Structure 1
Amino acid sequence: MKKVLITGGAGFIGSNLALLLLSRGYEVTVLDNLSPQIHGEDAENASPLFLSIKNRVNFIKGTVTSKTDWENAINGQNIIVHYAAETGTGQSMYEIARYTEVNIQGTALMLDILANSKHNVEKVIVASSRSIYGEGKYYSDELNTYIYPKHRVSEFMDNGDFEVKYQGNVSPLKLVATDEESKIHPSSVYGITKQNQEQMIMTVCPTIGIAPVAFRYQNVYGPGQSLSNPYTGILSIFSTLIRNKKSINVFEDGKESRDFVFIDDVVHATYLGIVNNEANGQVFNVGSGVPTDVLTVAEMLIKHYDIRVPLNISGNYRTGDIRHNYADLNKINKTLGFVPAVDFETGIAKFVQWVNEQQISDDKFEESIAEMKEKGLFK
């Protein structure tokens, strides 16, 4: 029986993976600080995510910024799944020290222990992110080549022109799926930290006899995700606004798109990386492989909740946000046999059904926007 440590294992993805591993006979240890931003103020008694694994895993309340907590958690483990991280592109642009301390230094502490002490760890899986790609991959008919546009600038966005640009290219660019060989050029501090995490683990682990695997997750959603965190999770943010009967501020022109992947598919893909040696030393995209624009998301949620609220396509934008990005899944399909099983229409229905069973959360979105506006990061 393998012993698996999941850092951030009381979180959305981590707790779902823990439950799957328990059902398959693994012994699971979770290291988590039960962050109030994700779990609320009384996490140990009121967080549904934590309660789903409470008394079923070996739980260590601690932080990845503590070497002692890491040493206690790593002891006796065979596999580490590293999820613990500060998340959210917008917040990362003004809480830079916190994001780098947790995401980069926390990962460095783990690797330092693995490199300099005796242990039983044979594989490390890291949750990377589509954010490391920055803007996605495009094709230019005019230039007859694939290109990777630079980050968008205020000069155009202030005038309502939100599409990506490329020097010397006049005709519109064609969005294509982003594969694992695409250019890495994150547009946020969060993306930079995820790139750093991935590169450290993929570089260090092979030198000390540990198999690394990195999964570049797209936008993960589904039953169980935090409804109170205003900094990440567009489906949760929109759902809270709708249930509070407030209008939805759709940023840009509403045509910006994301690849929304259902939680069950993400957990399944990760499990395949745990059990298959073919995954060792590899980096994989995990997504649905389908782009969905933000306006469509808002309209679908309104339809499923059957609550009419105004949609305000405002032209507002956040510094660091990308225009488009969706995953090319050829590699993970050919290597691990992964095929996403839940389409967005089915997934959003399951999500809404679960949300309707929860208490209506207070809307803290405007507070988060006010923070960004004060920092000059919301236009």
Structure 2
Amino acid sequence: MKIVIFGGTGFVGLNLAEVLLARGHEVTLHDRSPLPPAAQRSLADYRERLKVVQGDITDAQGIDALMAQGCDAIVLGAAVTAGDDLERASPARVLEINVMAQIPILLAAIRHGVRRVINLSSASAYGAAGQRHRILDEETPCDPVSFYAISKFTSERSVARHAELFGGDFLSVRLSAVFGPWERPGSVRDTPSLQFQILAAFARGEPALLPAPGIKDWTYAPDVAEAVALLIEAERPRDRLYNISSGVAWSALQWGEAFAALHPGLECRLVSPGEKTVIKLHGGDRAPLSVRRMADEFGWRARRRAPCSGRS
């Protein structure tokens, strides 16, 4: 298949590109940022099936021209992943990129006969409902609160409505607490995972001091990419919304402790009274996402479902 990933040189985009290229697909990465040098080296063996297009997600003409070249599927992965600081600084930008910029892409996909569209949404769409339920499935009523959560929930509804109006084969996935390879903060992403922050502290030669254990259904990015690839390749998915998660809540503190135990001299622990730490939690505790829909239809479950010392 010919697949275009918008936001393709970002965190999840690069993980998905690796998986799709390994499965034999042709991949175009559309992003404002160039392909990082490390990714250029890592993906060098796939250069004949990999294309990088630098462009802005709001450039409707440029995107239409790209769609006109022909593709079988697109992934809407370009987003402002915003915490409170970024929301205060540019709330309009969050909504512009995460919702409004998708509409010209969806219309171009319809015009040019794109077979499958996957919208990468977020578990944040559940919002305050995450504190009222023990587990969150795709039928749980959402109660988004932050501008980011509102934007992701709205993107899902927009994608679904376009599909209803124009008959497109469009669906959304809610990704939960993703960490792993290719993660990096930037101007449109100010919510790095605790795992990323732990490793950054180690790289600075400092102990990783966590303000709390950080219990979430942390999900390894390559597992996320495998699930999205299955949905891209599926002949006819039964639903328009799927949760992608490890399905199990576990502690980032335990992960950091396990990593430190394998590397003498490293320390990961909770911050003591009176100590300061630059490590931040982004979002409070939330119930884990149910992945029964993905498991029942595709036999998919995350391969890494607990703290491990693997590549991160």
Q: TM-score range by the shorter chain?
A: 0.7 to 0.9
- The answer to whether residue 267 in structure 2 is matched with residue 308 in structure 1 is yes
Secondary structure in 2 matching 1:350:
coil
Distance 1:268 1:17 in 2: 7
Distance 1:290 1:281 in 2: 23
* Aligned AA (2:182): G
TM-score by length of 2: 0.85
Q: CA RMSD in A?
A: 2.8
Q: Aligned in 2, Cα 1:186/1:322: closer, same or farther, shift over 3 Å?
A: farther
Distance 2:193 2:3 in 1: 27
- The answer to whether residue 156 in structure 2 is matched with residue 233 in structure 1 is no
* Aligned AA (1:65): T
What does residue 102 of structure 1 align with?
Answer: 97
Secondary structure in 2 matching 1:30:
strand
Question: Residue 335 of structure 1 is aligned with which of 286, 289, 297?
Answer: 297
What does residue 90 of structure 1 align with?
Answer: 84
What does residue 230 of structure 2 align with?
Answer: 272
What does residue 29 of structure 1 align with?
Answer: 28
- The answer to whether residue 22 in structure 2 is matched with residue 62 in structure 1 is no
Question: Residue 49 of structure 1 is aligned with which of 30, 39, 58?
Answer: 39
Q: How many residues align?
A: 301
After superposition, residues 133-172 of structure 1 pair within 5 angstroms as 133-137=126-130, 148=132
After superposition, residues 291-306 of structure 1 pair within 5 angstroms as 291-306=249-264
Q: In the TM superposition, what is the alpha-carbon distance from 1:282 to its structure 2 partner?
A: 2.0
What does residue 160 of structure 1 align with?
Answer: none
Q: Would you say the 8 A contact 2:179–2:193 is kept in 1?
A: yes
Q: Would you say the 8 A contact 2:210–2:269 is kept in 1?
A: no
Over alpha carbons, which structure has the higher Rg? 1
- The answer to whether residue 77 in structure 2 is matched with residue 77 in structure 1 is no
Aligned-pair identity in percent equals 23
Q: Would you say the 8 A contact 1:206–1:212 is kept in 2?
A: no
What does residue 122 of structure 1 align with?
Answer: 115
Secondary structure in 1 matching 2:310:
helix
Secondary structure in 1 matching 2:101:
helix
Structure 2: give runs of 5+ residues left out of the alignment. none
Question: Residue 180 of structure 2 is aligned with which of 202, 207, 222?
Answer: 222
Distance 1:50 1:191 in 2: 32
Q: Would you say the 8 A contact 2:81–2:190 is kept in 1?
A: no
Distance 2:174 2:236 in 1: 17
What does residue 219 of structure 2 align with?
Answer: 261
* Aligned AA (2:38): P
